[in-house]
Amino acid sequence: MASRKPAADGIPAAPARPRLTVMRDVAKLAGVSHQTVSRVLNNHPNVRVETRERVLEAMRSLNYRRNLAARTLVTRQSDTLGIIGFETTLFGPASMLYGIESAARDAGYMVSIASVRDLERRQVLEAVDRLTQHSVDGVIAIAPKQSVNHALAQAPPSLQCVAVGGSGESDAAPTVSIDNAAGARLATQHLLDLGHATVHHAAGPSDWPESVERIEGWRRTLYAAGAVVPPVEHGWWDAESGYAQGRAMARDPAVTAIFCANDRIALGVLRALHEAGKRVPEDVSVVGFDDMPDSGFFVPPLTTVHQDFGELGRRSLSLLLEHMATSPEVPPPDRVLVAPQLVIRTSSGPLRH
C-alpha cells in the first residue's frame, strides 16, 4: 500500500529526493500558515486552542517530524551536547557517560561523543573542534588530567564547557568531581579506628588529580592522627599495578592496613596478599575506592569508598545548563564536589593474631 509508485506519467524517473513532509504540508492540511505550525511546535502561547488542536491533528495524520537541521541553522542551537570521553571503557567513565546522557535526555538534549585516545592538548582540542563543527550547544569533558583543563581554556570562549572528574584547579571551566580527599579520609580514618598503627597506600598515577587528591587526603588524615606516613609508589589504575605494589607490601611485616586508590588496584593487592599467605582482614586490611559492581564479591568482599557516578553525571549536566543559561560573560567558575560514602564489607577489620 504505502510503497512508492513509479511515476506513471511522462517523467522518466522520480527525482532522487523523496520529498519529506514539511511544515508547509501540515499547514495546508490544517488550513493555516506555516508560521502557525511553527508556533504550535514551539508552544507559543498565542495560538487558539482550537487551531492548535487542528494543527496537532494534521501533524499526527501526516506523521510529521520537524527538521532539526533547519531549526539549528536559524536558531544556532542544536539541542545537542558534546561529551569528550576518555577511557570510557572503564566503569567509572562509562558510568559518568551514562549519567550525563540520561540527564541530558530528560532535559531534551541529544548527546554526541568524541573520544580521545589520550589527553594531550592536541587531541582534546581536536575533539572540541569536531564538536563545535557539529554545533553542539555545550561540552562536558570527562577530564581526569590537568592537561584537559589547559586545552579547554583554549576552546572558543563562546562554547560553554564543564569538566567532570578532574581537579578544580583550573579556571578554564567549572568542575564537578568526587570529593576525593574526603573519600580518602573516610577510608584512612576507618582503618585507623580499627586500631591499625598506620595505613599504607597503593596509589594511582602521579599526574592524575584524582590520584593526587586521594594521596593528599590519606596523608592529612595520618598526619592529623599522628601516625607515620609511609612512602608511596605510583602506579596505574589497574590490577596489575596493584599486584606489583601488593607484592612489595606483603613482604613488609609493618603493613597491616592498605588503602588502595581504586578497586582494581585493590583486586591486585588482594591477590598479592593471598599469594604471600597473608589473610585478609586478619593479617592485613584492605580498602578500595570506587565500589565497582562486583567488588562485593572479591575474596574477601571489599570495603570501599562508593562513588555515585550517576550523580556526578547529573550534576555536571545541570551545571552546564546553568552556565549556558547565563550570558557568556564568564562568571567565576565553580567547583561542585560530590560526597563519597564508605561501604564497609569484610576486607577490613581489627588486627588479629
Partner DNA sequence: CTCAGCTCTGTGAACGTTAACACGCGCGCC
Partner DNA sequence: GGCGCGCGTGTTAACGTTCACAGAGCTGAG
Residues that bind a second copy (CB under 8 A): 17-18, 65-70, 72-73, 76, 78, 80, 85, 88-91, 94-95, 97-98, 101-102, 105, 110-115, 117, 129-130, 132-135, 158, 238-240, 242-243, 264, 267-268, 270-271, 274, 293-294, 296-299
- Minimum separation from the CB atom of position 29 to DNA (A): 12
DSSP string, 256-284: -EEEESSHHHHHHHHHHHHHTT--TTTT-
Q: Which three cell numbers stand for residue 255?
A: 603493613
Q: Which does 114 bind (CB under 5 to 8 A by kind): DNA, a second copy, none?
A: a second copy
Pick the closest to residue 23 from 51, 65, 82, 74 (CA basis): 65
Q: Which does 33 bind (CB under 5 to 8 A by kind): DNA, a second copy, none?
A: DNA
| 76 or 353: CB nearest a second copy | 76
Strand pairing of 257-260 and 110-116?
unpaired
Q: What is the DSSP letter of 88?
A: T
Contact partner, 346, from a second copy, DNA, none, Cβ < 5-8 Å per class: none
By C-beta, is 8 or 13 nearer to DNA? 13
Of residues 85 and 230, the one with the C-beta less far from a second copy: 85
Q: Choosing among DNA, a second copy, none, which partner's interface includes residue 31 (Cβ < 5 to 8 Å by kind)?
A: DNA
> Side chain identity at 252, as an amino acid letter?
D
Taking the least distance from each CB to DNA, the nearer of 17 and 353 is 17
CA distance 353 to 347: 16
Smallest distance, DNA to C-beta of residue 44, A: 7
- Is the CB of 91 or the CB of 186 nearer to a second copy? 91
Residue 294 interacts with, from DNA, a second copy, none (CB under 5-8 Å by kind): a second copy
**Shortest Å, Cβ 47 to a second copy:** 22
| DSSP, residue by residue, 92-148 | HHHHHHHHHHHHHHHTT-EEEEEEESS--HHHHHHHHHHHHHTT-SEEEEE--SHHH
CB 76 → DNA: shortest distance, Å?
A: 7
How many Cα neighbours within 13 Å face the side chain of 144? Answer: 22
CB of 28 to DNA, least distance (A): 10
Binding partner of residue 185 among a second copy, DNA, none, CB cut-off 5 to 8 Å per kind: none
Residue 23 interacts, among a second copy, DNA, none and using kind-specific CB cut-offs from 5 to 8 Å, with: DNA
Residue ranges in contact with DNA by CB under 7 A = 17, 19-20, 22-24, 31-36, 38-39, 41-42, 44-48, 50-52, 64, 66-67, 70-71, 73-75
| Shorter beta-carbon distance to a second copy: residue 234 or 274 | 274
**Residue 255: CB minimum distance to a second copy, A:** 19
Q: Are 283 and 348 in contact (CB under 8 A)?
A: no
Q: How far is the CB of 16 from DNA (least distance, A)?
A: 7
Burial per residue of 311-332, b for 16 or more beta-carbon CB atoms within 10 angstroms, e otherwise: bbbbbbbebbbebbeeeeeeee
Give the whole-angstrom CA distance, residue 216 versus residue 202.
13
Query: What residue 240 binds from DNA, a second copy, none (CB within 5 to 8 A, per partner kind)?
Result: a second copy
- Paired with 115 in beta bridges are 85
Distance in angstroms (rounded) separating the CA atoms of residues 45 and 59:
18
| Cα-based distances in Å from 276 to 176, 248, 253, 260, 263 | 40, 10, 11, 18, 20
Nearer to DNA, 1 or 20 (CB): 20
Strands 80-86 and 257-260: unpaired
Nearer to DNA, 2 or 231 (CB): 2
Q: How many CA atoms lie less than 13 Å away from 39 in the CB half-sphere?
A: 17
Element (H, E) at 200: strand 200-202
Nearer CB in complex with a second copy: 117/352 = 117
